[in-house]
Amino acid sequence: MSTGWMFGVVGCHPFEIALFHEEAQNEVWGEDTSTLVSSSYQPVGKVTHVEGGFRLSGRWGFSTGSVHCNWVLLGAFVPPKEEGGALEMRTFLLPRSDYTIDRDAWHVFGLQGTGSHDVIVDDVFVPDYRTHRSIDGFHCTNPGQDVNTAPLFALPWAQVFVRSVSTA
């Protein structure tokens, strides 16, 4: 069961990577097209705007398969640039060198096989092209859809993720 859960979650991330800007896709798959990516979409990180991207810090829990992956997708609310603006939910893509994994954070009987650990990020720069707005996933206007034009990528990301996880 734990293995099925892990592959159900980690197995749908290539679809999401294909929604990122082409430059991010090349960084993830450039040398190894079988690279695995974990995730934790809880919007718990601290984000600040900087030139060319963002600074990201925080601790995200329950990142399934994290010890087997070379990249991670993390969720966070981005503060508005202008006063009175709305928060924006984004997903941030980070290489393994930009975060640490706390393996001693979750002790649940029977679920250790999921490899769900905490991911810790300490004030890391994330270029804009390695982020995408969650709303774009619902509207199918992600930057990666400019290069990945197959009908598969016309599906909203949330539908793919929820179905993948629910069938694990």
Number of domains in the chain: 1
For residue 91, the cross-strand partners are 75, 132
pLDDT in tens, 17-70: 999 999 999 999 998 999 999 999 999 999 999 999 999 999 999 999 899 999
Q: According to the model, what pLDDT value does residue 36 have?
A: 96
Q: According to the model, what pLDDT value does residue 7 have?
A: 80
Task: Tell me the CATH number at 27.
Answer: 2.40.110.10
The widest CA-to-CA distance across the chain, in whole angstroms, is 47
Q: According to the model, what pLDDT value does residue 113 have?
A: 67
φ/ψ of 63, rounded to 5, equals: -85, 95
Residue 20 sits in which domain range? Answer: 2-166
pLDDT in tens, 113-137: 677 899 999 999 999 999 999 899 8
